[in-house]
Chains A and B, each alone.
Chain A
Amino acid sequence: MANSKLYYFLLIAMAGMVFLALGGGIWGAEQSIGHWTGVLFQSVCHQDPTRSFSVFGTPMAVNSRCFGIFAGILTGLLLIPVLSAINFKNKKGLVVLLFAVMLQIIDYSGNLMGYWENTNISRVLLGGFLGLAISISISDFFYNNNQT
Chain B
Amino acid sequence: MEEEIQAQNEPAYGFGDYLPSAGIVGIIFSLITFAAGLFFGYQQINSEPTGTFFSPFMISSGVICLISALAGLLAVWHFTREVSPELKLGQGAVLGFLTGAVIAILGVVFNELWVMLFDPEYSEKILSSLIANIEEMELPSAQKNEMIDAMAESVVSGQSLLRQLFMGIPITGLINLITALIGVKIFAEKPEEKF
Contact = CB atoms under 8 A, between A and B. Distances in A.
Most buried by A among B153, B172, B185: B185
A33 B174 contact: no
Q: Is the interface of B mostly helix, strand, loop or mixed?
A: helix
B158 interface: yes
B154 interface: yes
Contacts of B190: 148
A45 B61 contact: yes
B176 to A, nearest CB: 11
Contacts of B147: 31, 33, 49
Interface bin, chain A: 35 or more
A33 B58 CA distance: 12
A124 to B, nearest CB: 15
B185 A137 contact: yes
Contacts of A134: 178, 182
A44 B61 CA distance: 5
Contacts of B65: 43-45
A41 interface: yes
B120 interface: no
Nearest to B69: A44
A6 to B, nearest CB: 5
Interface string B58-71: 11111011001000
Nearest to B88: A3
A43 B185 contact: no
B174 A17 contact: yes
Contact of A43 (B58, B150, B171, B182): B171
A48 B190 CA distance: 42
Contacts of A73: 178
Nearest to A17: B174
Contacts of B62: 45-46
A97 B107 CA distance: 28
Interface in A129-147: 134, 137-138, 141
B149 A34 contact: yes
Given A6-B93, A34-B154, A138-B185, A46 B146 contact: no
B141 to A, nearest CB: 15
A40 interface: yes
Contacts of A93: 185
Given A138-B181, A138-B182, A141-B89, A46 B59 contact: yes
A148 to B, nearest CB: 6
B178 A39 contact: no
Interface of B: 53-54, 58-62, 64-65, 68, 89-90, 93, 104, 107, 146-147, 149-154, 157-158, 163, 167-168, 170-172, 174-175, 177-178, 181-182, 184-186, 190
23 contacts: A6-B89, A13-B174, A14-B174, A17-B174, A31-B150, A33-B154, A35-B150, A38-B150, A39-B167, A40-B171, A41-B171, A42-B61, A42-B158, A43-B64, A43-B107, A43-B172, A44-B64, A45-B61, A94-B182, A97-B182, A138-B185, A141-B89, A141-B185
Interface of A: 3, 5-6, 10, 13-14, 17, 30-31, 33-36, 38-51, 73, 93-94, 97, 134, 137-138, 141, 148
